[in-house]
């Protein structure tokens, strides 16, 4: 039996993922991974200052070898008990191929690779987005293809081909829809190891990136979303972390393969309330 400390993997050194890592790690070691080492190092310093054991490294969600190396490294340190997949790019940060490669394909690879090393009784969470709920429903066959197509063939699907994806927003929505479907499918393989995987689809949560978006060219639309939502405000990283803490903890032991929409009611308003007449995506 291993005497090593349990390991938490945080892939994506943003405010939401960091808040979750602090909430779900008790006495273990946190591996902070990000595309940019300086981002990971900044979070590592914050964790060290708060009394956690942590290290920083680089991982590219667009590169399966990089993701595989992170999973193998984490497993070499001790039992991988918690996995937080919180990286990615937004519609305003990248072009269509990059969004699909990172937010759709990269997350699919990460779910598979960490599903090979997750410890018994371990758990993971994918931070997706409310945006996946804005796209019209897909067919049952399309859902199945996004959920179960082998990762090396995923980007070759016709519904992801040039011309089928019409904008960076559409690419992002499709990616986030796929996140939830892949979580559902991977719950089966994670379950074979006695582990669980779920997703959270947050609405607008105040982070440095969200603040930039709110002040950017699409900012008016985002502000309208918040004003006309039941909550009437944005969320906070700690609110998402509280939900993740529940989903990853023993109280949620019967929850596996689900996606929780946590958007303050924006999506409800989008379909059935003041935003239904037209608003920001």
Indicate which residue of 105, 176, 224, 271 is catalytic. 176
**Active site annotation includes 224:** no
Instruction: Report DSSP letters for 206-238, one per residue.
Output: -SHHHHHHHHSTTHHHHHHHHHTSSS-S-B-HH
Instruction: Report DSSP letters for 231-262, one per residue.
Output: S-S-B-HHHHHHHHHHHHSGGGTT--S-EEEE
Distance from C-alpha of 26 to C-alpha of 217, rounded to nearest angstrom:
41
**Active site annotation includes 172:** yes
- Identify whether the C-beta of residue 53 lies closer than 8 Å to the C-beta of residue 61: no
Produce one character per residue of 235-270: b if its CB has 16 or more CB atoms within 10 Å, e if not.
bebbbbbebbbbbbeeebeeebbbbbbbbbbbbbbb
Indicate which residue of 4, 172, 222, 272 is catalytic. 172
Instruction: Just list the catalytic residues.
Output: 172, 176
């Amino acid at each position: 039996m291993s005497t090593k400390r349990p390991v938490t993997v945080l892939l994506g050194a943003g405010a939401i993922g960091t808040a979750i890592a602090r909430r779900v790690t008790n006495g273990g070691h946190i591996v902070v991974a990000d595309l940019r080492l300086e981002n990971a190092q900044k979070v590592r310093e914050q964790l060290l200052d708060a009394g956690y054991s942590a290290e920083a490294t680089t991982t590219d969600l667009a590169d399966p070898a990089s993701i595989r190396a992170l999973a193998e490294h984490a497993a070499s340190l001790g039992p991988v008990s918690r996995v937080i997949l919180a990286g990615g790019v937004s519609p305003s940060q990248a072009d269509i191929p990059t969004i699909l490669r990172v937010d759709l394909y990269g997350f699919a690879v990460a779910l598979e690779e960490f599903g090979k090393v997750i410890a018994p009784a371990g758990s993971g969470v994918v931070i997706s987005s409310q945006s996946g709920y804005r796209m019209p429903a897909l067919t049952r066959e399309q859902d199945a293809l996004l959920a179960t197509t082998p990762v090396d063939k995923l980007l070759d699907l016709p519904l992801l081909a040039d011309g089928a994806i019409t904008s960076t927003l559409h690419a992002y929505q499709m990616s986030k829809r796929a996140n939830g479907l892949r979580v559902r499918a991977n719950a089966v393989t994670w379950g074979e190891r006695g582990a669980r995987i779920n997703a959270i689809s947050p609405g607008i949560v105040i982070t440095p990136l969200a603040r930039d978006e709110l002040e950017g060219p699409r900012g008016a639309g985002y502000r309208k979303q918040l004003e006309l939502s039941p909550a009437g405000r944005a969320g906070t990283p700690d609110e998402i972390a509280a939900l993740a803490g529940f989903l990853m903890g023993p109280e949620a032991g019967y929850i596996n393969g689900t996606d929780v929409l946590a958007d303050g009611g924006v999506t409800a308003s989008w379909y059935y309330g003041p935003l239904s007449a037209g608003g920001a995506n």
